[in-house]
A and B are shown apart, each in its own frame.
Chain A
Amino acid sequence: MNRRTAVVLFAVVVSVLGASRTSWSQTPNLAPGFSGLPKGAKVVMMPADIEIYSISAGGVPEPRADWTEAGQRNFKSIVTRRQGTLGLSMTQLAEKDADDFAEISALHTAIARAIAVHHFGPGSLNLPTKDGKLDWSLGDSTQALKKATGADYAVFSWVRDSHASAERQAAMVAIAVLSLGRAVPRGGRQTAYASLVELDTGRILWFNRLSRESGNIKDEADAEETVESLFKAFPVVK
């Protein structure tokens, strides 16, 4: 074969090898060695931690309690509607029962941030000791949750939506126009985390993150899309 063919072949081989390596190794969303939940697994859904903001003309995010209320309602009703369809035994932990688990929830939020920055982040912040794997665990601190709910797994969710107010949108257009299109300031943003935790070990088995400029959980029509995106490839039944 001539040299050019060899180079092309080499490139093809490398990319095929690379591709097959990728499909053989875990996706970044799954912990090593985990590919799915067993059928009928008992899963408890923690109350979602949702806050929705309006961005003022000056770019300052302001909490909107009414939107947050709506976001929470939407999330809950979507989960309620779908939980029976997953082949799992899923229950939702009532807000009032969540008092005892405030520390675990706060702990989970801290870990979710760490995963977002050091696993799904810019790469330069990846932690060498994690070796590119989703390898985080809350340890035996989740045993209490298992005991209280009888579940073997828990799902934690965290959503922060911000939406540009009308004034902000006007300001954005002005900035874009004045800078002749060079500066296009950010409008709204949606950041969300969801994780599946094995309650016996505290291991995070699955994690997903949304960080995008669209996404709207406060409006019923759009909330479905956020929940779907967040739980896309949720590792259901093996």
Chain B
Amino acid sequence: MKTLLGLLLVVLLAACTTVATKKVDSGDNTIGDRLQVNIEGPWNQITAPGMGPAYIWTMEGLPVDQLRIYSGIKDGEVIHDTRNSNLKSFTFRSNMQSDELVSMFEGMLTRDGSTFQVTKVEPSVFGGGKGVRFEYAMVTKEDSLPLTGVGYAAVNNSELFALLYNAPRLGFFPRHQARVEQIARSAKIIATPVPAKN
């Protein structure tokens, strides 16, 4: 997906040392201290500064598929990278309902002009608590490539936990969907750390 990749390449050119690709092994993994998932078969995690608060995983490479995992996003936090400040920003609010969470993610994914159509929204369990699961179809602005997506989101103690997976409708989404659903089902929110007393 161009925006993520574009960012990555800019960062690479600027500071080669800070981009990293890490193997995420099968089994239990903790994401950002707050979300534990169990994965069957390894994934690739890509980290670089300025990519936004989500953890980004991929199987085939960012231009093809992206798994975004949000762990403990706070009220008022912007959910994406802040590079294109002239584009509309999308912020999480802890009182958001399911329909509003879906709209927020829709807004984020269409910032670059891609189109988005939700195809299913249903209540679900995510992270061990009540949440929402949604499916969607997109067409990328850059290549006019049709994508399929699935998302899970839940608000727990005023924080957002979520997972979004996008991949081309042809071939790739069907190939990886089952493992993504399994990751979502396995997700567990770890108890809120006790805040330090002042």
| Direct touching of A and B (C-beta under 8 Å) | yes
Could you tell me which A residues sit within 8 Å of B by CB distance? 102-104, 106-107, 109-111, 113-115, 117-118, 122, 124-129, 136-141, 202
> Chain B residues with Cβ under 8 A from A127's Cβ?
21, 44, 58-61
Q: Give the contacting residue for B143; candidates A110, A122, A125, A139; CB below 8 A.
A: A110
Known: A107-B172, A124-B19, A138-B170; 7 extra A-B contacts, CB below 8 A, are A103-B169, A107-B171, A110-B168, A114-B64, A117-B61, A117-B63, A139-B175
Could you tell me which B residues sit within 8 Å of A by CB distance? 5, 8-9, 12, 16, 19-23, 42-44, 46, 58-64, 143-146, 168-172, 174-175
Which single residue of chain B is at the shortest CB-CB distance from A142?
A: B171
Q: Is the CB of B21 within 8 A of A126?
A: yes
Which single residue of chain B is at the shortest CB-CB distance from A116?
A: B63
> Chain A residues with Cβ under 8 A from B169's Cβ?
103
> Chain B residues with Cβ under 8 A from A136's Cβ?
60
Given the interface contacts A128-B21, A128-B44, does A122 sit within 8 Å of B16 by beta carbon? yes
Listed A/B pairs (19) with beta-carbon separation below 8 Å: A106-B144, A106-B145, A107-B170, A110-B64, A110-B143, A111-B64, A118-B21, A127-B21, A127-B60, A127-B61, A128-B23, A128-B44, A129-B42, A136-B60, A138-B170, A139-B171, A139-B172, A140-B171, A202-B171
Which single residue of chain B is at the shortest CB-CB distance from A128?
A: B23
Q: With A and B bound together, what is the CA distance between A164 and B63 in angstroms?
A: 28
Q: Is the CB of B61 within 8 A of A115?
A: yes
Q: With A and B bound together, what is the CA distance between A103 and B170 in angstroms?
A: 8
Q: With A and B bound together, what is the CA distance between A143 and B10 in angstroms?
A: 37
Q: Give the contacting residue for A124; candidates B20, B143, B175; CB below 8 A.
A: B20
> Chain A residues with Cβ under 8 A from B23's Cβ?
128-129
